[in-house]
Chains A and B, each alone.
Chain A
Amino acid sequence: MANVQMQFEQFNDTIRLGRFEENATLREKRDIIRRKLKANLPVVFKKYNEICPEYYFLDQGSYEMDTGTKPLDGDYDIDQGLYFLVSITEWPDPVKLKERVFEALDGHTNRVELRRSCVTVFYSCNDEPLYHVDVAVYSESSMNTDGKSYHAKGKQHSLPENRYWEVSNPQQLSDTIFDKFPGAEDRKQFRRVIRYWKRWKVVNFTAGGASAPNGIGLTLLTYYHFQPRYTDAFANKHNDLRAMRELVEVVLASFQLVYDEDEKAYVERLIVKLPIEPWNDVFDRMTARQMRTLKDKMTVLKDALVYAEGVADTRAACERLQMVFGKDFPVPEKQETASVHPPAITSSGNSA
């Protein structure tokens, strides 16, 4: 009913954070890390009497896919792929390679961590806004006999079974996701909807909490269940409210009962598999409790979307949407939504 497409598009313009090519801040932060690695990697390898393998960088993550949103707290989350021209047989222990990367970055800021999936550099310099760069380490595809690229998993002191090379191809993932919607305008709506999810997540889950669903999961939920929606298909006028409401409803309906070993009971889970190798469930690390919270918050989101679609007043719809999407969702002033009329003159009246 209420037409809030203008407000949704305004919201998208406010929260969108473009690609590296468009955004100097992102590029700058990324290039600091690239320069640091260029300068230090040869030194570190030399220290261990190893030859520094050739390597190159690839942008990955939401800023590469153009699904990024501006962080609310300034904590930009920058993803970099670091592709070493080595085979997984030359470096059977992926953590060893990650340790070299860690050492090349360590001391660069007060906090550098070697984590399960990447080496993370945290910045919290005096005036500089807080941000972090995740460097994911890969073995490049052409170096492996099966022609696949592999992602280095595991951390220091991990048990051997938790240190492994995992088949991974971020570029192929990105291509798979976006090739599903060939039309330029549909693809734009697809990206907008992913950004709405992500901002909803930031507003509704406490900062840095492990309880929040990860960005790739929300992106994949959209990939699997989103359908382009229009108010006028012939004029190519999109209806983001309806697309989002239908998407959230389908996602809520796709929670499934799974036996949980920790809870010793059947619990509801969202299973979101990567559409390419290694086909893993990207939400598999969420606990049963986190899943329940996710479902509760998604239900609140759905109710707000149903309400916004059900009321006639644009302003009432936007007020409700602001409650779930945060203050960047615009609420128009009453006057902006109304036409101007001449003054009315009324008489007294009788009723019974």
Chain B
Amino acid sequence: MKITDETITYVAALAKLELSDDEKDRAKTDLENIISYMDTMNEIDTSNVEPMSHAFPMKNVFREDVVTNGDERDNLLSNAPVKKDGCFIVPKTVE
């Protein structure tokens, strides 16, 4: 699998990362090696195999619809880098 500059720019954008030119070059080499290695999976025919997300067939794990939590605002905001009026703060999102 050939990894292009566009691919690196695209996956960096998806992962919300800003890469320097050096980092991009390095990522290109690394990803190309790694993805090519991943391509070895194609050596085996899996057309008759169902994808397996969970190793064990667990099913139907539920909780009942009962309120168990109270107000934990101070705890939740205790790690916030910036906060105001009981809220987390981000740069303006609406135009």
Tell whether A pairs with B.
no
